[in-house]
């Protein structure tokens, strides 16, 4: 037993943990992104799927670069890596840093991680020797994954990352899946190629239960309605085949357009 009451093996474990989180003494050098960095979120060099937990504040509030009167708060969250969709990372557990809004909030979803673990796709960059989210404040650099784990997923490096996003977000994976949350995320926008998105939605509509099927059909219907080509609506009519091929009910979207 040493002077502070730790056995040698316990001291080794503590030392290893400190080594794994060596970035903890570098976070003071991180500053909030500028506008140009926000515009390049989806070109971030590292994109992973992981389960985020154990978020904690670091230091006092800092003034925002956009508005010095508004406070920002630096946070660190632990992420257990499940998939790497772009770039390379060796560790299976990493610490990720980000600035969150610390004042009044109105508008799009703020960046942050709650008390409960969440599975997400994360766009990341390296900064000051640590990993950080590719955005600050407003959450345009993480996407919730409610389709389950995809630990056996084999990435095809020949295809753009949008195809991998479609596979992860719109394919039922392993483990327990909350049907309502899965259905809700189907309506979220994501950078998936349109034709491939329709393919994945068609698969969900044909293979899933009523809750997920209805969500997939509604997303297809919205896609069909989204573009027209003059008064003849030629594009809309050509897209209508997606609803038929997916076996969607004829009244899909009726609640949006009223009685027919």
Q: Residue 258 above 80 pLDDT?
A: no
| pLDDT per position as a tens digit, 16-57 | 443 345 445 677 789 999 877 777 899 999 999 999 999 999
Q: What residue segments make up the domains of the chain, in order of their start?
A: 27-144, 151-260
113, with CB counted inside 10 A (0-12, 13-18, 19+), is buried
Residue 234's pLDDT band, with cuts at 50, 70 and 90, is: low
- Give the DSSP per-residue string, 41-52: GGG-SEEEEEEE
% residues pLDDT > 90 (the chain): 68
- pTM here is 0.84
| DSSP-H helix ranges across 26-131 | 35-38
| pLDDT value, residue 19 | 38
> CA nearest 57: which of 120, 89, 6, 102?
102
Main-chain dihedrals φ then ψ at residue 82, nearest 5 degrees: -110, -40
pLDDT, average across residues 131-143: 95
Cα separation, 11 vs 4, in Å, equals: 10
| pLDDT value, residue 53 | 96
Q: How many helices (H) and strands (E) does the chain have?
A: 9, 7
Q: Select the more confidently predicted residue: 67 or 23.
A: 67
% residues pLDDT > 70 (the chain): 85
| pLDDT value, residue 14 | 38
Q: Residue 260 above 80 pLDDT?
A: no
Q: Residue 259 above 60 pLDDT?
A: no
Range of lowest pLDDT (61-75, 143-157, 182-196, 218-232): 218-232
Q: Select the more confidently predicted residue: 111 or 5.
A: 111
Instruction: For domain 27-144, give the fold.
Output: OB fold (Dihydrolipoamide Acetyltransferase, E2P) (2.40.50)
Q: Select the more confidently predicted residue: 107 or 162.
A: 162
């Amino acid at each position: 037993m040493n002077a502070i009451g730790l056995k040698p093996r316990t001291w080794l474990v503590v030392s290893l943990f400190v080594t794994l989180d060596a970035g903890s003494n570098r976070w003071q050098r991180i500053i909030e992104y500028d506008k140009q960095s926000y515009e390049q979120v989806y070109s971030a060099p590292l994109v992973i799927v992981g389960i985020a937990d154990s978020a904690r504040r670091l230091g006092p509030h800092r003034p925002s670069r956009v508005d010095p009167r508004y406070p920002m708060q630096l946070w660190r969250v632990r992420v257990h890596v499940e998939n790497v969709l772009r770039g390379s990372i060796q560790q299976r557990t990493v610490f990720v840093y980000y600035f969150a809004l610390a004042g009044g909030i109105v508008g799009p979803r703020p960046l942050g991680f709650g008390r409960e673990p969440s599975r997400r796709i994360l766009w990341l960059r390296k900064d000051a020797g640590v990993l950080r989210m590719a955005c600050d404040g407003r959450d345009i650099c993480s996407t919730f994954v409610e389709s389950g784990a995809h630990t056996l997923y084999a990435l095809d490096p020949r295809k753009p990352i949008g195809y991998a996003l479609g596979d992860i977000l719109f394919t039922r994976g392993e483990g327990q899946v909350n049907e309502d949350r899965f259905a809700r995320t189907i309506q979220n926008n994501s950078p998936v190629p349109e034709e491939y998105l329709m393919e994945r939605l068609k698969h969900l509509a044909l293979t899933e239960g009523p809750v997920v099927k209805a969500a997939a059909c509604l997303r297809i219907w919205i896609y069909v309605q989204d573009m027209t080509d003059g008064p003849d609506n030629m594009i809309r009519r050509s897209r209508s085949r997606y609803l038929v091929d997916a076996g969607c009910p004829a009244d899909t979207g009726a609640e949006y357009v009223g009685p027919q």
